Amino acid sequence: MTVLSIGGSIINKNGIIQIDYLKRLGKLLAEYHLGIVVGGGFSARVYANAMKLLSNNEFLADECAILSTRQNAMLLIAAIGKNAYPNAVNSFAKAREIYFSNKTVVMYGTIPGITTDTDSVLLAEAIGAKKLINVSIIDGIYDKNPKEHKNARKLKALTHDELIELANKYDNRTAGTNFVFDSVAAKIAKRSNIELHFVSEDTNEIKKALDNKLHSGSVVKSNLGKLTE
Ligand code: UTP
């Protein structure tokens, strides 16, 4: 059993929806039975920022951003086709029902104050999945923010505790922001010993991760000892 968390930034790149990419991704995902959570990406940030300027209210900004996750989830369902349940859902109970009726389920954001990283590990817990693949524009976990530091190193393998430490550095809990992986999500992955795979949007990499093959992203497991490169 596998859960996939798809970053909204790979669906909507600076306002341009990646139709051809979505078709390829949908075709690949249609071959598997999955629990999927979709993020908000660019439009979530645009709407969250606008709502913050207008209302000065983080809760409302999150609620606005969640609507972007729903739109992206709808697009992915359309791309997957008949192997996916036709509606995007944001209830874990409903997601369980759908998953256990043998359909792929696609979820969107649930409540303000969290991110789709957290939703995805909660979905993994809800259906008993021990493996979660996080797909985003960043091709793995880095020791520093690769956008800001030229000498950032990709970590091929790390423990849940090491991920929690990195996630804590980034986490400022505000609507539309993105960090390496939400620290709450990292802690939930630890408590249920969920193995995490971080891969780029390259569909070959996603396929390798789905098929339990070696990929070029990062893996988070409970007991690895020291960080490896
Ligand atoms: P994410 O930050 O999870 O989207 O949700 P993402 O697309 O995966 O992020 P990228 O791709 O890394 O950029 C977008 C925003 O939606 C709200 C938060 O404001 C979050 O920053 N959200 C999402 C919630 O409030 N609750 C949720 O359960 C999910």
SS3 28: helix
163 has a pLDDT exceeding 70: yes
Return d(Cα 96, Cα 118) in angstroms, integer. 16
* Phi, psi for 156 (deg, rounded to 5): -70, -35
Residue 218 near residue 156, CB atoms below 8 Å = yes
pLDDT-derived band at 226, boundaries 50, 70, 90: very low
pLDDT-derived band at 228, boundaries 50, 70, 90: very low
The model's pLDDT over 59-97, given as tens digits with 9 standing for 90+, comes to 999 999 999 999 999 999 999 999 999 999 999 999 999
Give Cα separations from 69 to 6, 9, 51, 107, 169 (angstroms).
Answer: 10, 11, 16, 9, 25
Report the pLDDT value the prediction gives residue 225, as an integer from 0 to 100. 47
- In one letter, which amino acid is 172? N
Report the pLDDT value the prediction gives residue 180, as an integer from 0 to 100. 72
The CB of 176 under 6 Å from ligand 1? The reply is yes
The CB of 134 under 6 Å from ligand 1? The reply is no
The CB of 44 under 6 Å from ligand 1? The reply is yes
Distance from the CA of 11 to the center of ligand 1, in angstroms?
A: 13
Report the pLDDT value the prediction gives residue 157, as an integer from 0 to 100. 96
The model's pLDDT over 7-48, given as tens digits with 9 standing for 90+, comes to 999 999 999 999 999 999 999 999 999 999 999 999 999 999
Return d(Cα 173, Cα 183) in angstroms, integer. 10
Return d(Cα 196, Cα 127) in angstroms, integer. 16
pLDDT-derived band at 172, boundaries 50, 70, 90: low
Q: Percentage of residues in the chain with pLDDT exceeding 90?
A: 85
Domains of the chain: 2-220 (3.40.1160.10)
The CB of 125 under 6 Å from ligand 1? The reply is no
pLDDT-derived band at 148, boundaries 50, 70, 90: confident
The CB of 9 under 6 Å from ligand 1? The reply is yes
Distance from the CA of 226 to the center of ligand 1, in angstroms?
A: 31
* Phi, psi for 159 (deg, rounded to 5): -90, 165
Distance from the CA of 165 to the center of ligand 1, in angstroms?
A: 20
The CB of 59 under 6 Å from ligand 1? The reply is no
The model's pLDDT over 198-220, given as tens digits with 9 standing for 90+, comes to 999 999 999 999 999 999 999 99
